[in-house]
Amino acid sequence: QSYEVDGTSMETTLQDKDRLIVYKLQRTIARITGKNYQHKRGEIIIFTRQDSAEFGSTKSRQIVKRVIALPGERVVVKDGTITVYNDETPEGFDPDEIAPYGKVITTTSGEIDLVVPDDSVFVCGDNRPQSLDSRAFGPVPMKDLIGKLTLRVYPFGKGQKF
């Protein structure tokens, strides 16, 4: 499926009006078999939201964000930093410091302390000050996931495989 980026919340990785190809086969197979497809930390995903309070509309919107935390992980936002705690790293880690993706624009305000539900993921935009994401609307249910970003096809000359 083709998707066009709307906004600056994923800069510096994606720019406004970039054209993307989204891979949906794994999600489709998971739905047919009655299982949830488990995304990986760092993947860029497309999902739907229908929150008139957050988006000023009653229409469902497709949104692009990066997976920061997985089901069962604890997410703490404090003093401008996101820390994820899990069984492998009980002392916690900054997901941006261990990630293979490009530079993110960080500044996270407010405080959060939550455990991601079993059927959800915690997502953030790479341009944190300009992103409305799980820090505002909470974890994203797996049932709302459309697919993962696999390719940027436009603008020409900036094609990239993800």
Residue 153 pLDDT exceeds 70 = yes
- CB count within 10 Å of CB 79 equals 9
Q: What's the pLDDT at 52?
A: 39
Query: What does pTM read for this prediction?
Result: 0.80
Domains of the chain: total: 1
Q: Using pLDDT thresholds of 50, 70 and 90, give the confidence band for residue 100.
A: low
15-32 average pLDDT score:
78
Residue 24 binned pLDDT confidence (cut-offs 50, 70, 90): confident
Report which secondary-structure segment, H or E, holds 53.
helix 52-55
- Sheet with 81-85: strands ordered across: 81-85, 74-78, 112-115
pLDDT at 40 over 70: yes
Residue 123 sits in a domain whose CATH number is 2.10.109.10
CA distance 18 to 152: 7
Find the mean pLDDT for residues 21-31: 74
Residue 109 confidence (pLDDT): 66
Residues 146, 11 contacting (CB under 8 angstroms): no
Residue 51, pLDDT > 70, answer: no
Residues 6+ apart with CB under 8 A from 81: 94, 106, 108
- Residue 5: per-residue pLDDT: 80
pLDDT in tens, 101-152: 555 556 666 788 999 999 899 999 988 888 889 998 899 998 888 888 876 7
Query: Is a pLDDT exceeding 80 seen at residue 29?
Result: no
Q: What is the pLDDT of residues 58-98, one digit of tens each?
A: 455 788 999 999 999 999 998 878 899 999 999 999 887 76
pLDDT at position 67, please?
A: 95
Q: Range of 80's domain?
A: 2-161
